[in-house]
Amino acid sequence: MMTELSELDERLQIESFFQNDGQLTLYAVLVSKEAHCPSCGNCSSHRHSTYERVWMDVPDGGRPVTVHLKLQKWFCRNQLCAQGIFTERLGWLPPNKRKSRRLEEQIRELAFSMSAMQTERVCRHLGIRISHDTVLRIVYQTKLSLINSPFCRNR
């Protein structure tokens, strides 16, 4: 599990981990010297503060995995940018989400092959804590390509 997390981002360092009640809890920090503003793209090396994000990742041997990740907030030094302070963006962990992209992808694959209730039961068995409502939310947020759809007519 530890090596899988380090594959997500080379700046990710695991500080400690605990196993209790059939769950794996990791405490990690993202070590970076600079970040790019999501609004203007300006690179900043002026740290503002730190904050913690708690998210779920793919299960490890049927055990749910929760990660407490310490991230940086940065000052945007571009005078024309209205952002001011921004948080680091991670390609593998979308903003304001509590599940990694790879966990959501696993759930999405299950959800498109069975009902939401069945997906909830299978996920529980695999060590993924999720409700059928969240499964439906993931399905509704999925962008589908009409080109590959069986309902799309060739013109």
More confidently predicted of 91 and 124: 124
Q: Two tokens at 129?
A: 């804590």
What's the rounded mean pLDDT across residues 67-74? 93
H, E, C per residue of 32-61: CCCEECCCCCCEECCEEEEEEEEEEEEEEC
Q: What is the mean pLDDT of residues 51-69?
A: 90
**Residues 76-99: what's their mean pLDDT?**
87
C-alpha 112 chain-centroid distance: 20
Listed in sequence order, the residues at least 6 apart from 61 whose beta carbon sits closer than 8 Å to its beta carbon are 127
pTM: 0.77
With a cut of 80, say whether residue 129 has pLDDT above it: yes
